[in-house]
Amino acid sequence: SRYYREVFPGEIVKISRHDVQTLDVVQRPGGDPPAFCIFEYVYFARPDSIFEDQMVYSVRRRCGQQLAIEAPVEADLVSTVPESATPAALGYAQKCGLPYVEVLCKNRYVGRTFIQPNMRLRQLGVAKKFGVLSDNFKGKRVVIIDDSIVRGNTISPIIKLLRESGAKEVHIRVASPPIRFPCYMGINIPTKEELIANRPEFHDLANYIGADSVVYLSVEGLVSSVQESIKATQNNPKTQKSSTGKIGHCTACLTGDYPVELEW
């Protein structure tokens, strides 16, 4: 029978036709906790992935709930840009007691082959990529949940599209903290200068992207959303988990606190 599980940090595994054997587990030097990439939970991983015994979808929903606690807003409905931030938007809506309503739908007839690599067609990209469900939000105050704003140039045309289609207000809530630092652990994050959080426009980001307001999830809020379920599992006597297992996540791109010494 097939058996899938995570390979633990530092674990050396031998897979044969007979079984799966752990040959060794290399501990982090100095007894440091693991440093699992927190952005896997926010953005990179598929929602049905399971890391550290928890489903990514559930973590994203918790991030949305936490965002609602940290950044509520007077509004009529909650939505998202389809569809990576849907779990967070559902969590936000549930916590705020607002309806989750679709405001955009993906245009399935636009394949990448039709998008030519020139600026004019890229600007048309948003209008081609999404259909506007204007009946759902005309004259209403809309909260759009996004999973991350990296450069800030993707969300602007979407806000413009919603306003032109009748949205009364457009508030942006981001279910992760601002990315400020480069990743030296293998994730291709844009240069420091390209990151909107490091640019002067960030000080008036709502005006820059055309929103009524913009609020990001705090680093503490993200970490607690990710770790809450892990801690609960570890402290549950019914689960055969060792409560001494250390929890650790890399937040370097958000905080500049790298899990290893950078040698250059």
Radius of gyration of the chain measured on its C-alpha atoms: 21
- What pLDDT, in 10s, does the model give residues 43-69? 999 999 999 999 999 999 999 999 999
Average pLDDT over residues 240-263: 80
pTM over 0.75: yes
CB 251 within 8 A of CB 210: no
- In 165-240, which residue ranges form alpha helices assigned H by DSSP? 205-209, 219-234
* pLDDT score of 245: 59
The arithmetic mean of pLDDT across residues 28-45, rounded, is 90
Rounded Cα distance, 87 and 174, in Å: 12
Instruction: Name the architecture of domain 40-110+117-222.
Output: 3-Layer(aba) Sandwich (3.40)
Under 8 Å between Cβ of 93 and 100: yes
pLDDT digits (tens, 9 = 90+) for 158-213: 999 999 999 999 999 999 999 999 999 888 888 999 999 999 999 999 999 999 99
- Measured in degrees and rounded to the nearest 5, phi and psi for residue 255 equal -120, -20
pLDDT attached to residue 120: 58
Domain ranges (residues) in the chain: 40-110+117-222
